[in-house]
Every structure is written in structure tokens, then in C-alpha cells.
Structure 1
Amino acid sequence: MISFSPSTSSNSDASKLTYSVLIESEPDGKFSAVVLGLSDCKSYGKTENEALENLQQLLQKRLQNSRIVTLEIDSPQTDNPWLKVAGMYKDNPLFDEVLADIEAERRKLDAQMEEYYQRIDAEDGVK
């Protein structure tokens, strides 16, 4: 399902739009200003301010015969592959034992790594 709603508001602050603008110094010494995401909205000027003013006028002219709407699209439904196996061992009487074995192995590996890092640090201290 696709739906959209026109952006209408009587609040003057809500009717203001904000754009991110990239200002670049051109090789000829002039400046360019382009609206990020709207590469066709680009202007030039002798100064940064002039380039921005020209861009503002361009945007205002473009928006005179336009309107902004919010487009909402439903995402396609996909099955999560993990849901097929989630909880399949919850009633297994050995589950807690397996978890305990995994935790013990993890602690053993962590201790080995800690010992390894201490040995590396000690060797670095000798150099």
C-alpha cells in the first residue's frame, strides 16, 4: 500500500525548509553552491554569499509550482529465518547443562587470551 499526505501547516516555522548545501571554490575563483541530494539545484557566484543567494532564489522559483508530500510505502513482508528455530530447545532437559558448558568454555578461552595479552605486553616492555 502506498499513501501520501500533503504537507500543509498554518504554522510559519513548519513551512520553512532546510537544505544542506555544499559550497566549493571553483578554479576560476568563483564559488558554486549545490543542494546535497538535488544535484540539479546548483548556482554560482563571485562570493560564497552570492552563490548562496542565487541558490536560494533558484529553490524558491522551483518550489513556486511544486508541493512537498510525505510518501509512505509498506515494506514487503519477509519471514525471519531465525523464527523457525527460535526456542526449539526450551523444553530440553539438557539445555541448561549445554549452556553451562558453553559458558565454561568461554571463560577458559577468555583466560587464555588474557594470558596471551599479558605475555605480549611483557615482551613489548622488554624491547
Structure 2
Amino acid sequence: MLIENQQDGKVSKTVPGLPDFKGSGVTKEEALEKLIQLLQERKPEIVTLEIELPQTEHPWMKFAGMHKDNPLFTEVLKYIKADRSQIDFENETK
């Protein structure tokens, strides 16, 4: 619920996404009461929808494990670890 103080000293409450549902009053409580009355007059019904999403493979999964048999992979990991350690050290000394 969006609560706004008006220039005339009143308070208004609006339900985001439903701009026609707006109550205003001298206090927050009065504005809320008017908004509740508007909602009750409309007799709304809240319904939950369950939507099944299509099962798709994560786009990065096709790359998972692609270097597992590369003889240079262990060496690359060592370089990565050294670079990360250097960055961590530089960040700690700042």
C-alpha cells in the first residue's frame, strides 16, 4: 500500500496496480478505512493461480565439465587461485 501525505494536509492510500482504489482522509487510519470500504463495496475475490513453467535446461549447463579432461586445466586453476589471492591481499591492505 502506498501512503502519501497530500499538500492539503490529508493522507492518501493507494493500492499499487489498482489506482482507482484510493482512499484519503485527515489521518492514515481514516484513509485506510475509506480504502477498505471501497474494496468491500467491490466484493473482490483473491484467487491463486498455479502456472506450470516449461522445464528448460539452464543455458550454462552445456558448458559444465567441458574442460575436465584438459591436461592444462589444473594449471589454469592455479593461476586463478593466485590471482584471487593477490586481489584479496590488495583489498585487505586498502
TM-score (norm: length of structure 2): 0.69
| Structure-1 residue corresponding to 2:22 | 42
Which ranges of structure 1 fall in alignment gaps of 5 or more residues?
A: 1-20, 118-127
Overall identity of the aligned pairs, in %: 56
Q: CA-to-partner distance for each residue in 1:39-71, whole Å, 9 max, x for gaps? A: 2110222333322211111111112xx322111
Larger radius of gyration: 1
Alignment of 1:58 onto 2:7: no
Which residue in 1 is equivalent to 2:59? 81
Question: In 2, Cα distance between the equivalents of 1:32 and 1:115?
Answer: 49
Deviation at 1:87, TM superposition (A): 0.3
What is the Cα deviation at residue 37 of structure 1?
Answer: 3.3
CA separation of 1:93/1:34 partners in 2, compared to 1, >3 Å: closer, same or farther? same
SS in 2 for 1:40: strand
How many pairs were matched up? 94
Distance verdict in 2 for CA 1:42–1:108, change over 3 Å: closer
Within the alignment, does 1:72 sit opposite 2:19 as a pair?
Answer: no
Matching residue of 1:26: 6
Query: Aligned to 2:23, what secondary structure does the other structure show?
Result: strand
In structure 2, what is the Cα distance between the partners aligned to 1:95 and 1:47?
67
Q: TM-score, normalised by structure 1?
A: 0.55
Larger RCO (CA under 8 A, 6+ residues apart)? 1
Root-mean-square deviation (CA, aligned residues, Å) is 2.8
